[in-house]
Amino acid sequence: MVVTNEVFLWVNGILIASILAFIGSLWKIRNEISPLCQIAKRIQLNAIDSWLEQRGLNIGSLSRKKSKGHNSLSAENAAEREALTAKGKQYGLNQLEANRLKELLEEDARNDFANGLIGFLALAALVVLIGALVKSLSRSS
């Protein structure tokens, strides 16, 4: 059977649709499984800590470090954003501080969007390259 570009793209489309359906079903139950994920993460970090200690590699405890999450801002801007957010939760912010926090959040959102767009374009280019490779291989057969 000769694999044509159309067959490849149909199979690719079906696979991507199946993956998106699977991710969608996981997205619906994420709140129900999040406590289990936190427990599993803590167990895994403790196991890694003990494995490192057994081998004499004391680089600090991974399980005691607080996960900061994702930051696309510089360290100074991320620290400023965290400080302003904490102050806003505790006391409230004046107009100048609120504007600065808004600027930091917008910058973070722009950076995340740009990173996501670059990732999407890289994935699309990879799919096109694989399609071209399959098309060229099917011609030579």
Cβ proximity of 73 and 81 under 8 Å: yes
Cβ 63 vs Cβ 42: under 8 Å: yes
Is there a contact between 5 and 137 (Cβ–Cβ < 8 Å)?
Answer: no
Q: Is residue 67 scored above 50 in pLDDT?
A: no
Helices then strands, counting H and E runs in the chain, come out as 4, 0
CA-based angle 40:51:47, to the nearest 5? Answer: 15
Q: CB atoms < 10 A from the CB of 106, how many?
A: 10
- The per-residue pLDDT for 70 is 59
Question: Could you report the per-residue pLDDT of 68-80, keeping only the tens digit for each?
Answer: 555 677 888 888 8
Residue for token digits 């970090």?
A: 45
Q: How many whole angstroms separate alpha carbon 38 and alpha carbon 33?
A: 9
pLDDT in tens, 1-57: 677 888 888 889 999 999 999 998 888 887 777 787 788 888 888 888 888 888 777
- Supply 19's token pair: 């993956």
Average pLDDT estimate for 101-110 = 90
